[in-house]
Structure 1
Amino acid sequence: MKVSEYLREYNIKLLKSLGQNFLTNQKIAKEIVEKAEIDEKDVVLEIGPGAGALTEYLVLTGAKIIAVEVDKRLIPILKRFNKFDNIQIVFQDFLKFDLSILPKDFKVVANIPYSITGMILKKILFSRFSRAVLMVQKEVGERLLAPPRSDRSFLSVVVQNFTVAKKLLNVSKGNFIPQPKVDSVVLDLKRKKDFEYDIGEFWNFVSRCFEAKRKTLYNNLRKFTDVGCFSGFDLKRRPQELENEEFLELFERFKGCK
């Protein structure tokens, strides 16, 4: 049965307040799951299964699937997965879900609500995940992958230093119900094993470096630390101009000066 048919059968109107834009193209759903390279030994977190387009293929991998869905109106649609013994559906706000109950190196596969992309990414990055395959708004995805000296944000720097990030595929807006105003991309974020810093501390440091993107590093850094720690650096540059490796060196200097 198609996603639109499930919604019609149970008279469910999707809510803009929940960022509900459900993927309807099963070919794309299958491709996303295939590109996530899941095997039966994996534990996979799906954020917002919705009507189950991705879930249809996730359960067939044989992996243990934990699907977290905030909208209890979808219970009658998702109950079709009760016949599988490798899936657990938790009806809860993902931002309140305790990720510490998941084993180390779990994977994430999800079409995430675009309105809270940043908060979801932060929660994933702060967890013990190994890989995340995420559908996000195209503009957001392109910014996350943006190189130095382009329109990047602090989140671009964090993601690119903490993960090996790449685009897997483009997904046009016509593949969703209701149709959003923007296209989407699917990103692959593989956690780097050699990242040796506390991700929370690094996140906070980089975000403060970007506090005012149009200002120089000097102006941003001096608000919270001794700029003398960074002798030899050209602090007249703006934060988006730095290479990823330079942020790691800045952070190392910052930690040494505290």
Structure 2
Amino acid sequence: MKTSDLLKQYGIKLKKNLGQNFLSNTEIARQIVEVANVKADDVILEIGPGAGTLTEELLKTGAKVVGVEIDKRLKPLLERLNEFENFTLVFEDFLKFDISTLPKHFRVVSNIPYSITGPILKKLLFSDFSDAYLMVQKEVGERLLAPIGDSNRSFLTVVVQTFCTVEKVLTVSKGNFVPNPKVDSVVLHISKNTEVYEKYDIKIFWDFVSKCFGQKRKTLYNNLKTFVNNLDDLKKKYDLTLRPEQVSKEMFLQIFEELLSPN
């Protein structure tokens, strides 16, 4: 049954404030599951299962799927999937969900609520996930993939590219959703770089890079001086006249190390 028909059947009207744009194309859902190479022994977190179009395709693989959904109105619609013994449905705001209840190295396959992409990414990056296939707005995908010098580059770009590898695996046009969003979407594969995670504390690095991008139009020097007392040594080693988006992830890590372990 089509997603739009399911919503009508259960009398559900989607809410803009929850960023509800549900994937309606089953073929796209199949492609996502296929490109993610979901296996029966995987534990998959799905954030915001919505009408369950992607959920059902995930469940067919035999993988254990944990769906975290904020909208309790969707309960009767999603409970149609209870025929699958590998489905666990949790009605809770994902940002309040205790992600530590999931086993280590869980995977994520989701069409996430676009309005809270940043907080969702932060929670995932700070968790024990192994990799994620996330459907995001096209402009968000471009930002996370932005190269050095690109004006789209943000502190989140730097953190994600430093601690993970990121690649675009699918482009999904807006006509594949109910209701149609204003922009197209992309599916990103974000895979954790375990060596970087083992060497650096991502929470401290997140805070550091965030401050370095405090005022994006200012130079790295002007941003650093707001929280670093003496920049004389750093000025001799690095070009602090660059703007934050012009700084490589390697240079950010080098400065980060020096500030953590000054001579």
What is the TM-score with the length of structure 2 in the denominator? 0.96
The amino acid that maps onto 2:76 is P
Aligned to 2:201: 198
Q: Which blocks of at least 5 consecutive residues in structure 1 are unaligned?
A: none
Aligned to 1:71: 71
Q: Structure 1 runs of 4+ off > 3 angstroms?
A: none
1:52 CA displacement: 0.3
Q: Report if aligned partners of 1:163, 1:192 keep a CA contact under 8 Å in 2.
A: yes
Aligned to 2:239: 234
1-side partners of 2:208 and 2:215: how far apart? 13
1:45 CA displacement: 0.2
2-side partners of 1:166 and 1:105: how far apart? 19
Aligned to 1:176: 177
* Cα distance per residue 1:173-196 (max 9 Å; x no partner): 111111111111100000001112
Aligned to 2:219: 216
The amino acid that maps onto 1:178 is P
* Cα distance per residue 1:62-117 (max 9 Å; x no partner): 11110000001101110111111111000000000000111111000101111110
What is the TM-score with the length of structure 1 in the denominator? 0.98
Identity %: 60
2-side partners of 1:104 and 1:255: how far apart? 28
Structure 1 residue 19 corresponds to structure 2 residue 22 = no
2-side partners of 1:168 and 1:7: how far apart? 29
* Cα distance per residue 1:209-244 (max 9 Å; x no partner): 000111001100011013235231010111100112
Q: When the two structures are aligned, how many residues end up with a matched partner?
A: 258
The amino acid that maps onto 1:63 is A
1-side partners of 2:205 and 2:29: how far apart? 34
Aligned to 2:28: 28
2-side partners of 1:177 and 1:142: how far apart? 23
